[in-house]
A = this chain, B = another copy of it.
Amino acid sequence: MKDLVSYCPIEEVMQVLSGRWPTLLVYYLKDGVKRFSDLKRDNPTVSHKMLTFELRKLEHAGIVQRKVFEGYPLRVEYSLTAGGRGLVPLIDALGDWWDQLPGAVSMQPKIHQSALTGE
């Protein structure tokens, strides 16, 4: 039963923003409209499937807007919603806080569990 522990907004936001891509996508989108392939190019390491999934998640959350242009070839544009734009400064604030955080031993490329247990 992977329920939410406490139904607080914090836990809900984190469910949307957790992971490597959501915040990055918001960032790439803050400059304006981007096509799916643009975002793909911005994040070369994200898989096709993941990108679709993350964008859907953000869309369902009301952060990102998806606009389809029928035709050939197909064309889909993504942009931040008004609400989504409000998220940008908050993420910025987190970044600033992090930079000033003393002892922020700049993170290893990827935190494996082993990185903290072993070594």
Given contacts A5-B20, A24-B11, contact A53 B113 (CB under 8 A): yes
Contact partner of A62 among B23, B57, B105, B109, CB < 8 A? B105
In the complex where A24-B6, A95-B10, A97-B87 touch, is A18 in contact with B19 (Cβ < 8 A)? yes
A15 within 8 A of B: yes
A94 an interface residue at 8 Å Cβ cutoff? yes
- Residues of chain B lying within 8 A (CB to CB) of residue A56: 116
- Which residues on the B side are within 8 Å of A105 (C-beta)? 60-62
A109 touches B8 (CB 8 A): no
Taken together as a complex, chains A and B put the C-alpha atoms of A109 and B44 apart, in Å, by 31
Cβ contacts under 8 Å, A11 to chain B: 20, 23-24
Does B91 contact A10, Cβ atoms closer than 8 Å?
Answer: yes
Q: Mark A18-49, 1 if CB is under 8 A from B, else 0.
A: 11100110010000000000000001110000
Residues of B within 8 A of A44 (CB): 5
Q: In the complex, which residue of chain B has the Cβ closest to the Cβ of A84? A: B101
Which 3 pairs of residues, A with B, have the shortest CB-CB distance?
A62-B103, A9-B95, A18-B18
